[in-house]
């Protein structure tokens, strides 16, 4: 069943490849410096590499926006985003896949009564404004520098042509890698929490965790979309906005690649934070907006006279319509699938201030006196519980997140089947021992299992300031949680 439902994510990947490949090689193909076939092959290969190697960063933020907890719901969300992208791709516009999947997830949140993480939404929406502006500034600066260098270097025409072709190819490869790293979360990110895959080792050389296996499948679907349907949008980006010289094409592709990488690289973020510098948030940015921003930046630095503002207006209108259309398609489709086809599109999540939850809230420094009248009362959705809490006390965004996480009911029991599966996984021997110690224990809240594992072994504990270790712990916790769910 998972394979069947995953088809909508693969369709979304195909749509992304058909549309967003233009953002990587569109200017190169539009200026006829690289053939479409060659561009599609290189784009497909390096999109897959980027997805598998560096796709985890942006996927985490997308998961915070809405944790789709039923496979049929994930199917509908991905399908709604794919239909939105495909429709605008047929019209020839470089649509934002990020906007489509964000809109579809919000549609699911509204239908399921789930809590929308406005902090995560704010980071993503801000990136929609920041990325094209940053790309425009970056491309304008690079264009001036490169044009100045060419003018005074006195490179022969044929040598310059060869250099630009090589530069376009290398910039396109970097752009394809960054596209896979940043946008793979749009394709299969919502399937990660409910994936049944276990960690696998390939020839004993390297391992692929459950998320990376999904990223690999999604990357292949993007590559297929690029090769089969990417040419039309490539020509829109390469020729429809403004006339592009080969040098301008190189700068546009390079600027797009840099912007995507800035918002996807966990290593770069760790480097900035480690040196006390502000870092870019790891969010799935719109490669369509970045490349259009790059092209506009070059057009403006050349005087702005050749920019086709009508085309820019049409593209902007498509961007504004994308999330709205995705929300509507997602919500209506979820209603039809759940009520007509009798498929469970979300698993109801209850909230209750249990004794353990109240203690955890107090340990976080949040008083619970005003919540006395709703203690032990069960609320069927996150929205209803948050409303009840907000009516009784004013909390900051951080505090409400603490309360919601502490009171979420998530009854689980560690079964012998889950323990056996964990024994064959890539968890450390100490982690496996701590997990085995929880056999037959029942937990009312998800955090209670995390606390029990942390008490049983230091290898399950988060370390203040050690972001890499903490990410590893979170991945391992997510893995054992899926093992438990699969064994139920």
Phi, psi of 375 (to 5 degrees): -60, 140
- Predicted confidence at residue 58, as pLDDT, reads 66
The pLDDT value given to residue 316 = 82
Nearest to 101 by CA among 223, 33, 165, 8: 8
Q: How far apart are CA 290 and CA 246, in angstroms?
A: 19
Enclosing H/E stretch for 164: helix 157-188
Closest CA to 261 of 168, 182, 185, 172: 182
- Tell me 281's DSSP state: -
Q: What residues are paired with 351 via a beta bridge? A: 379, 408
Q: Would you state the pLDDT for residue 414?
A: 93
Environment class of 130 (CB within 10 Å of its CB; exposed 0-12, middle 13-18, buried 19+) = buried
CA dist 348 and 486 (Å) reads: 18
Give the strand pairing for 206-208 and 200-202: antiparallel
Question: Residue 382: which of 343, 410, 345 has the closest Cα?
Answer: 410
Cα 279–chain centre separation: 17
The Cα 436–Cα 419 span in angstroms is 6
pLDDT given for residue 236 in this prediction: 60
CB 187 within 8 A of CB 7: no
Contact in structure between 377 and 352 (CB atoms under 8 Å) = yes
What is the full per-residue pLDDT of the chain (488 aa) written as tens digits? 788 889 999 999 998 888 776 667 776 777 778 888 898 899 999 999 999 988 876 666 676 777 788 889 999 999 999 998 888 777 766 678 889 999 999 999 999 988 888 888 888 888 888 999 999 999 999 999 998 888 888 788 788 888 888 988 998 899 899 889 888 888 888 887 777 777 777 766 777 877 888 999 999 999 998 888 777 666 665 455 556 778 888 898 899 889 988 988 878 887 887 788 888 888 888 887 888 898 899 989 888 777 778 878 877 888 888 999 999 999 999 999 999 999 999 988 899 999 999 999 999 999 999 999 999 899 999 989 999 999 999 998 889 989 999 999 988 899 998 888 888 777 889 999 999 999 999 999 989 999 999 999 999 998 877 777 787 888 788 778 877 876 66
Q: What angle do CA 251, 88, 304 make, to 5 degrees?
A: 35
**Cα(first)–Cα(last) distance of the chain, in Å?**
16
* DSSP state string for 91-151: TT----HHHHHHHHHHHHHHHHTPPP-HHHHHHHHHHHHHHHHHHHHHHHHHHHHHHHHHH
Task: Say which residues have a Cβ less than 8 Å from residue 68's Cβ, sequence separation at least 6.
Answer: 74, 77, 105, 108, 190, 193, 194, 346
Other CB atoms within a 10 A radius of the CB of residue 99 amount to: 29
**What pLDDT was estimated at residue 397?**
81
Residues 6+ apart with CB under 8 A from 58: 181, 182, 183, 184, 185, 189, 263, 264, 282, 283, 284, 285
Domain boundaries, the chain: 2-339, 355-407, 412-487
Q: Are 339 and 332 in contact (CB under 8 A)?
A: no
Q: Give the DSSP letter string of 395-432.
A: --HHHHHHHHHHHB---EE--HHHHHHHHTSSS-HHHH
Residue 180 CB neighbours (<10 A): 32
Per the CB < 8 A criterion, the answer to whether 120 and 61 are in contact is yes
Count Cβ atoms below 10 Å from residue 101 Cβ, excluding itself.
35
């Amino acid at each position: 069943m998972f394979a069947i439902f995953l088809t909508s994510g693969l369709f979304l990947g195909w749509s992304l490849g058909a549309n967003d490949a233009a953002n990587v090689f569109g200017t190169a193909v539009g200026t006829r410096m690289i053939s479409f076939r060659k561009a599609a092959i290189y784009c497909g290969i390096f999109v897959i590499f980027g997805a598998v190697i560096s796709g985890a960063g942006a996927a985490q933020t997308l998961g915070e926006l809405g944790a789709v907890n039923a496979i049929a719901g994930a199917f509908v969300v991905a399908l709604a985003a794919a239909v939105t992208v495909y429709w605008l791709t047929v019209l020839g516009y470089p649509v934002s896949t990020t906007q489509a999947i964000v809109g579809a997830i919000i549609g699911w949140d509204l239908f399921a009564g789930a809590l929308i993480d406005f902090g995560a939404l704010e980071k993503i929406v801000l990136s929609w404004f920041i990325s094209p502006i940053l790309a425009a500034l970056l491309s304008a600066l690079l264009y001036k520098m490169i044009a100045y260098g060419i003018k005074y270097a006195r490179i022969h025409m044929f040598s310059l042509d060869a250099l630009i072709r090589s530069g376009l190819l290398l910039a396109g490869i970097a752009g394809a890698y960054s596209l896979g790293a940043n946008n793979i979360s749009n394709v299969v990110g919502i399937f990660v929490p409910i994936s049944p895959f276990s960690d696998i080792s390939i020839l004993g050389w390297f391992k692929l965790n459950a998320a990376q296996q999904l990223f690999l499948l999604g990357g292949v679907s993007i590559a297929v979309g690029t090769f089969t349907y990417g040419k039309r949008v490539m020509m829109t980006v390469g020729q429809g906005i403004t006339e592009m010289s080969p040098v301008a094409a190189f700068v546009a592709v390079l600027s797009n690649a840099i912007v995507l990488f800035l918002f996807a690289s966990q290593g770069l973020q760790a480097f900035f934070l480690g040196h006390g510098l502000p870092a870019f948030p790891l969010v799935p940015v719109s490669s369509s907006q970045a490349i259009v921003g790059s092209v506009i930046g070059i057009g403006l630095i050349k005087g702005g006279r050749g920019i086709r503002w009508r085309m820019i207006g049409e593209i902007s209108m498509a961007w504004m319509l994308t999330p709205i259309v995705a929300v509507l398609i997602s919500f209506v489709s979820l209603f039809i699938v759940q009520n007509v086809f009798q498929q469970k599109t979300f698993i109801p999540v209850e909230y209750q201030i249990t004794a353990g939850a109240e203690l955890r809230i107090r340990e976080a420094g949040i008083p619970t006196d005003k919540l006395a009248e709703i203690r032990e009362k069960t609320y069927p959705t996150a929205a209803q519980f948050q409303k009840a809490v907000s009516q009784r006390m004013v909390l900051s965004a951080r505090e409400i997140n603490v309360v919601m996480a502490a009171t979420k009911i998530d009854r689980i029991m560690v079964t012998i089947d889950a323990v056996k599966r964990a024994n064959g996984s890539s968890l450390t021997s100490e982690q496996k021992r701590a997990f085995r110690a929880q056999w037959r224990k029942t937990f009312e809240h998800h955090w209670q299992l995390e606390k029990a594992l942390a008490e049983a072994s230091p290898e399950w504990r988060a370390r203040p300031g050690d972001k890499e270790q903490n990410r590893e712990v979170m991945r391992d916790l997510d893995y054992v949680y899926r093992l438990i769910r699969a064994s139920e």
